[in-house]
């Protein structure tokens, strides 16, 4: 099975390298091809998502993605910036459903900024829509009537887009504790009003699921006050961006959390939720566990290799139990040594 490896910028290559070692240990069914993406691709080939990279991503059965983002590229025109690569992949491949589990490994209860009793109760999945919203609407710079510069971006969702992601939310809740919370800002936004209307319509197909609605400002509060109340959250692209990063931090280090971005037929792109961290790139300080756990999600969701996924997750837990800690977790291991610790536990 062909896996596209897109290491990207900053710490991307380091965390991908450890992950490939782990994958090679648990299965010999994978074949890897690597291609540049993000700032690295711009520097090498003049575009953050070169045609050959997109082609590889299309051919592959799944994509393992490092991170993109490079301060050298901040002043480029928008369509050439590293971030466009991940946005382009999501859109071109129809990866509309972003699944971000947030749970605290009990070994890391001390890593959260939240009180241990609050953080310890976190066990949720945030489902973020990835193909619509203000990310992909018409946008640009224009002049106002009085000749002043104005930036604008159109936010929108249509009913099919909402229904599709709502179903992922309901299905996910069904496989868990049966509770779905839809987050919007329906008291202000028409986009949110349609979102809420359609989620309610779709809920008729899932009478066994307990549906609730929450405004995004309240959700941001509740994720701090009592994150244990959530099972599955479903929300749009922009609110999902903010809330999932917030939730990840409530659950401890951002170096621990994986994500999957799926299309309609379970093909997916898998990436750690952390970014490229240019400040520590190339120093062996990055925590590879978020990427290793993303690879486990890949085995489970896109490749049908659940047993292998379980083995990886168990090995990560064992490594943590034995005290393996990179600097973000208050330890001294290098990226490679953390990879070694997981391999040793396999």
Tell me the binding residues for Mg(2+): 217, 241, 245
Q: Annotated binding site for substrate, which residues?
A: 90, 100, 128, 217
Q: Which residue number, 113 or 314, has a Cβ lying nearer to a copy of itself?
A: 113
Secondary element (H or E) of residue 318: helix 306-321
Based on the residue annotation, tell me whether 270 is a catalytic residue of this protein.
no
Q: Which residue number, 193 or 334, has a Cβ lying nearer to a copy of itself?
A: 193
All residues at 6 or more sequence positions from 148 whose CB lies less than 8 Å from its CB, including other chains = none
Contact between 123 and a copy of itself by CB under 8 A: the answer reads no
Chain centroid offset of residue 147 CA: 40
Single residue of 58, 79, 139, 332 touching a copy of itself by CB under 8 A: 139
Length of the chain: 346
User: Which of these, 308, 313, 228, 296, lies nearest to 260 by C-alpha position?
Assistant: 296
The answer to whether residues 125 and 110 touch, using CB atoms and an 8 Å cutoff, is no
Tokens of 84: 């466009």
- The least distance separating ligand IPM from the CB of residue 310, rounded to whole angstroms, comes to 26
- The least distance separating ligand IPM from the CB of residue 156, rounded to whole angstroms, comes to 17
All residues at 6 or more sequence positions from 102 whose CB lies less than 8 Å from its CB, including other chains = 122, 123, 124, 125, 126, 227, 244, 247, 248, 250, 251, 257
Contact between 277 and a copy of itself by CB under 8 A: the answer reads no
Single residue of 28, 51, 148, 207 touching a copy of itself by CB under 8 A: 148
By a kind-dependent CB cut-off of 5 to 8 A, residue 269 interacts, out of ligand IPM, a copy of itself, none, with none
In angstroms and rounded to an integer, the radius of gyration of the C-alpha atoms of the chain is: 20
Based on the residue annotation, tell me whether 340 is a catalytic residue of this protein.
no
Q: Which residue number, 11 or 333, has a Cβ lying nearer to ligand IPM?
A: 11
Q: Which residue number, 201 or 321, has a Cβ lying nearer to a copy of itself?
A: 201
Contact between 246 and a copy of itself by CB under 8 A: the answer reads yes
User: Which of these, 87, 176, 161, lies nearest to 123 by C-alpha position?
Assistant: 176
Contact between 188 and a copy of itself by CB under 8 A: the answer reads yes
Count the Cβ atoms, other than its own, within 10 Å of residue 262. Answer: 24
User: Which of these, 247, 238, 333, lies nearest to 289 by C-alpha position?
Assistant: 333
- Concatenated DSSP letters for 59-101? HSSEEEEEE---GGGTTS-GGGSTHHHHHHHHHHTT--EEEEE
By a kind-dependent CB cut-off of 5 to 8 A, residue 223 interacts, out of ligand IPM, a copy of itself, none, with a copy of itself
Query: Which stretches of the chain bind ligand IPM, using CB under 6 A?
Result: 83, 86-87, 187-188, 217, 241
Looking at 42, 157, 185, 301, which residue is catalytic? 185
Based on the residue annotation, tell me whether 133 is a catalytic residue of this protein.
no
By a kind-dependent CB cut-off of 5 to 8 A, residue 189 interacts, out of a copy of itself, ligand IPM, none, with a copy of itself
By a kind-dependent CB cut-off of 5 to 8 A, residue 86 interacts, out of a copy of itself, ligand IPM, none, with ligand IPM
The answer to whether residues 170 and 125 touch, using CB atoms and an 8 Å cutoff, is no
Strand pairing report for 232-235 and 123-129: parallel
Active site residues: 135, 185, 217, 241, 245
Contact set with a copy of itself (CB under 8 A): 78, 81, 83, 87, 113-115, 118, 134-135, 137, 139-141, 144, 148-160, 185, 187-195, 198, 216-218, 220-226, 238-239, 241-246, 248-250, 254
């Amino acid at each position: 099975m062909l896996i596209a490896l897109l290491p990207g910028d900053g710490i991307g290559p380091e965390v991908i390298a450890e992950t490939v070692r782990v994958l090679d240990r648990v299965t010999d069914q994978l074949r890897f091809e690597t291609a540049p993406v993000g700032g690295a691709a711009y520097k090498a080939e003049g575009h953050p998502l070169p045609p050959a990279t997109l082609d590889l991503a299309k051919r592959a059965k799944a994509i393992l993605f490092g991170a993109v983002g490079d301060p050298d590229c901040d002043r480029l025109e928008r369509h050439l910036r590293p971030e466009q690569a991940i946005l382009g992949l999501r859109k071109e491949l129809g990866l509309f459903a972003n699944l971000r589990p947030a749970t605290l490994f009990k070994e890391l209860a001390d890593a959260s900024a939240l009180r241990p009793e609050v953080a310890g109760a976190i066990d949720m999945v945030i489902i973020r829509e990835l193909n619509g919203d203000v990310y992909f609407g018409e946008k640009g710079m224009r002049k106002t009537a009085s000749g002043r510069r104005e930036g604008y971006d159109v936010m929108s969702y249509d009913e099919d887009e909402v229904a599709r992601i709502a179903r992922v939310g309901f299905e996910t809740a069904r496989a868990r504790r049966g509770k779905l919370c839809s987050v919007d800002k329906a008291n202000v936004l028409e986009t949110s009003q349609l979102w809420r209307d359609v989620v309610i319509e779709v809920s008729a197909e899932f009478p066994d699921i307990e549906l609730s609605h929450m405004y995004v400002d309240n959700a941001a509060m509740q994720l701090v006050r009592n994150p244990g109340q959530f099972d599955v959250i479903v929300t749009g692209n922009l609110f999902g961006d903010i809330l999932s990063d917030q939730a990840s931090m409530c659950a401890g280090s951002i170096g621990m959390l994986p994500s999957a971005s799926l299309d309609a037929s379970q093909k997916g792109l898998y990436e750690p939720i952390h970014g490229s961290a240019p400040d520590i790139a190339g120093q062996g300080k990055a925590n590879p566990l978020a990427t290793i756990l993303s690879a486990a999600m890949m085995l489970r969701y896109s490749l049908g290799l659940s047993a292998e996924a379980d083995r990886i997750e168990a090995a990560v837990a064992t490594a943590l139990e034995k005290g393996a800690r990179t600097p973000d977790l208050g330890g001294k291991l290098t990226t490679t040594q953390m990879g070694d610790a997981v391999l040793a536990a396999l």
